[in-house]
Amino acid sequence: MRLRTSHTAIELKGTIYFGLWYPKVYPLRRLPIPSTSSPLRPQLPFLHQSTPRSSPTAIARFISTERKELWKRRLWRNVQFQLVLWPALILGTIFAVGIQHLKYEHDFPTPRDWSFWSRWAFRNAAAAETEKIDNVLTDWSKAGLYYLELLKRLEDGKIDGDGVDVISASKTDQAAGRTLWPVLDISRKSAQWQRGYYQALMGAARVAEHLDGMARRKDSPRSKPIPWESIPGPTNPRPKPLPWDKNGEYKKVPSALECEDAYPPPGAFYNAILANPAFSTAERLDAALAYADWCDFKGRQDIATELYEQAVNVAATALPVPADSVIDPKTAILRAGQDQYVSQNLLKATTALATYRARHGDTKQALPIFLSVLRARKSLPPKPVEYQESNGQTTGKSDFQAYWAAIKEALLDSPYPPLPPSGDQRPYYTLKEACEEVGVTTYIGEILFATSDSTKDKGLAWTRDSVDAAEAVLWLMDEQGDRNGHEKCRQCLETGLANWKEMLRQMERVAEDKVHKAQQSRGWLGTGIGKASAVERAADNLARWREEEHQIELRQQKTDPLVTLSKMNAPKLEAWG
């Protein structure tokens, strides 16, 4: 079969079957693979690779000059990026931590003669005590570790305890039966150092109160505290199950032999303050009252009573005149005619003692103390005019000066605040002292109402007066911007309103009983004479109490914004209290 074209003729070989043409098929001949060992055979570059892939020539072609320059540029860019990134991250972290501790320093000032790490530990401890985990819980274990580290540094003669001598290395805590914290002679230290050491001891005591009854592993002082009741041992064969812990620290509970107390007892730190004469009267008084309150909470009434009486003695011994002429040593009643010698510490101590006695039902001894304290407070002298003007004067500043002052206060290290007064002097009648007077009035109203039926009306009248006074003082504080004693005044107002409402409910129940009895009575000699008037008087009395209860509800609605605002502006931690 021939196929003709315009230029050539091509002959196609094949076979025709039944009108169909089939081309002729030739067998496929396999070409021999050329051998690299025989150089005589022809090498076809398009059919066979002349050199293996792993030869040095191929690697040399892959790492060419252009690729070397490219990799050099990439490596140098990476080095430049790392040299900028990591220093920037480190400096940014240092800057953030510095800003945070600058804020802590403004909130919790530290003595300037402490070392850097001691001030660091105090700020972290105070911040851990005020901050909340998920806005719910306080990490007391973290705060306790910082306080212990700070105390060790302050008591170490090679760090911050230079010139500090040991007065008493160990004593026995009557409340806990354990070894106390050592008592140190810090009289040669500055006032700032002493104040900071006092704050560290009080902070450690607060932590010890919250970690009471907790244990931790002996070989791991930073482990998470576990309640003793959840640790198996010979005295606790059926331990209480622990809650679920997302970190898995409660999966393997140690035995009682592997654990120890998570923190020293609170009495160790409180007694270290009480036995140290270098601390001021106010500081030792606060420690005695806090320790007494703790013993009262733990049910150790005998020790609590001794501590409250010791607090009164601490305040009385600092008076400029003999204590027996100002206060009765047996009853703790302030003597009449000697109010000019009553100090602020003595008013605080006697009020705490009377509150403790009233709380435990000894109202016969508590009421005279409260009345004597109220008499002494009402005779307090007003604040001098010069002192009021010096506090009330405000230098006129422009907006720029005000902003500049705020920036300097935020960025620069603020000076250490002045030390609080010792409390050995007679206080002036300020809004803070007015709040304290309101609190005493509230206590007197409670005692009078609960003493007998004949004094219920007097107790209710005292409670009304306390509510009116607390509300007036609180409004004045908000107008003048005075936050000193604001929290105490708010508590007095809430307590007074609650007491007033409860008293009225009791009086209303008594009035309902009188109405029921008047309706069931038969009058004079069973004739019915006088029954209607008796029922009418009882009904009027009941209506009077109900109307007054309605007035209390309106009063609460009126004071709710004031109380809510006071709670929002309440300080987190009393730095100098």
**Phi, psi angles (nearest 5°) of residue 376:** -70, -35
Residues 6+ apart with CB under 8 A from 327: 312, 316, 333, 334, 335, 346, 350
Mean pLDDT for the chain? Answer: 81
Residue with tokens 């240092």: 94
Q: Among the listed ranges 181-195, 232-246, 338-352, which one has the minimum average pLDDT value?
A: 232-246
Q: Two tokens at 327? A: 């206060």
Distance, CA of 486 to CA of 490 (rounded, Å)? 6
Per the model's pLDDT, the better-predicted residue between 58 and 355 turns out to be 355
Contact 118, 148 (CB under 8 A): no
pLDDT value of residue 453: 83
**357 pLDDT more than 70:** yes
**Is residue 111 within 8 Å of residue 190, measured between CB atoms?**
yes
Return the pLDDT at 151: 93
User: Which position has the higher pLDDT, 435 or 14?
Assistant: 435
Q: Which of 318-322, 331-335, 459-463, 557-561 has the lowest mean pLDDT?
A: 557-561
CB 202 within 8 A of CB 186: no
3-state secondary structure of 381: coil
Residues with Cβ within 8 Å of 287's Cβ and at least 6 positions away in sequence, in order, are 201, 202, 205, 270, 273, 274, 279
The pLDDT, as a whole number, for residue 242 is: 81
155, pLDDT greater than 80 = yes
Does 17 score more than 80 pLDDT? no
Residue 347 pLDDT level (bands cut at 50, 70, 90)? very high
Task: Say what the pLDDT of residue 35 is.
Answer: 52
Q: What's the average model confidence in pLDDT over 398-416?
A: 67
16 has pLDDT over 60: yes
Q: What is the DSSP letter of 384?
A: P
Task: Report the 3 state secondary structure along 105-165.
Answer: HHHCCCCCCCCHHHHHHHHHHHHHHHCCECCCECCHHHHHHHHHHHHHHHHCCCCCCCCCE
State how far Cα 456 lies from the chain centre. 40
**What is the predicted pLDDT for the residue at 387?**
59
135 Ramachandran zone, left/alpha/beta (phi>0; psi -120 to 50): left
At 170, the pLDDT band (50, 70, 90 cuts) reads low
Q: Please, how many CA atoms are within 13 Å of residue 270, restricted to the half-sphere of its CB?
A: 27
Residue 262: is it exposed, middle or buried by C-beta count within 10 angstroms (0-12/13-18/19+)?
Answer: buried
Would the pLDDT of 148 be above 90? yes
Q: pLDDT-based confidence at 521, cuts 50/70/90?
A: confident
Q: What percent of the chain has pLDDT over 70?
A: 77
What average pLDDT does range 416-425 have in this prediction? 88
Q: Is 286 exposed, middle or buried (0-12, 13-18, 19+ CB in 10 A)?
A: buried
Spatial CB neighbours of 160, under 8 Å, sequence gap ≥ 6: 114, 115, 118, 153, 154, 193
Could you say which DSSP state residue 337 is in?
T
Residue 570 banded pLDDT, cuts 50, 70, 90: low
CA–chain centroid gap for 386, Å, is: 38
Per-residue model confidence (pLDDT) at position 167: 77
In contact, 342 and 326? CB cutoff 8 Å:
yes
pLDDT of residue 54 exceeding 60: no
pLDDT of residue 51: 52
Q: How confident is the model at residue 538 (pLDDT cuts 50, 70, 90)?
A: confident
Residue 562 near residue 475 (C-beta atoms within 8 A): yes
Q: Is the predicted pLDDT of residue 518 greater than 80, yes or no?
A: no
Mean pLDDT within 176-205: 84
Q: Can you tell me the distance from the alpha carbon of 284 to that of 294, in angstroms, rounded to the nearest whole number?
A: 15
Contact 168, 182 (CB under 8 A): yes
What does the pLDDT read at residue 132?
A: 74
Paired tokens of 438: 């309101």
Instruction: Give the model's pLDDT for residue 15.
Output: 65
Of all helices (H) and strands (E), which one includes residue 22? strand 20-23
Query: Helix 344-359 vs helix 281-297: angle between axes, to the nearest 10 degrees?
Result: 10
Distance of alpha carbon 147 from alpha carbon 203, whole angstroms:
7
Q: Say whether pLDDT at 198 is over 90.
A: yes
Confidence bin at 575 (pLDDT 50/70/90):
very low
Which bin fits 213, alpha (ψ -120 to 50), beta or left (φ > 0)?
A: left
Supply 30's token pair: 């396999």
Task: State mean pLDDT over 323-328.
Answer: 91
Residue located via tokens 């309101």? 438
Confidence (pLDDT) at 393 = 45
pLDDT at 390 over 60: no
Rounded CA-CA distance 144/125 in Å is 7
Place of tokens 């490596």: 75
**pLDDT (0 to 100) of residue 260:** 87
Assigned token pair, 505 = 């409910």
Of 61 and 272, the one with more pLDDT: 272
Q: What is the 3-state secondary structure (H, E, C) of 428-446?
A: CECHHHHHHHHHHHHHHHH
Among 8-12, 184-188, 211-215, the least confident range: 8-12
Q: Which residues, in sequence order, are CB contacts of 14 under 8 Å at separation 6+? A: 1, 21, 22, 23, 24
Question: What secondary structure, in 3-state letters, does 330-396 show?
Answer: CCCCECCCCHHHCCHHHHHHHHHHHHHHHHCCCHHHHHHHHHHHHHHHHCCCECCHHHHHHHHCCCC
* Confidence tier at 402 by pLDDT (50, 70, 90): low
User: Looking at the chain, how many residues does it have?
Assistant: 577
What are the tokens at 483?
Answer: 């936050």
Report the C-alpha gap between 210 and 44 in whole angstroms.
Answer: 91
Contact 141, 225 (CB under 8 A): yes
Q: Report the DSSP pairing between strands 20-23 and 165-168.
A: unpaired
pLDDT band (50, 70, 90) for residue 172: low
pLDDT of residue 577: 40
> pLDDT at position 389, please?
47
| Predicted local distance difference test score (pLDDT) of residue 481 | 75
Mean per-residue pLDDT, 506-517: 82
Q: What single string gives the DSSP state of each residue in 221-273?
A: TTSPPEEGGGS-BTTBSSPPPPPP-TT-TTSSPPPGGGEEESS--HHHHHHHH
Residue 168, H or E segment = strand 165-168
Picking from 1-10, 24-33, 134-143, 243-252, which range would have the lowest pLDDT averaged per residue?
Answer: 1-10
For 160, the token pair is: 């911050």
Average pLDDT over residues 396-415: 64
Average pLDDT over residues 65-89: 90
Cα distance between residue 424 and residue 281, in whole Å:
7
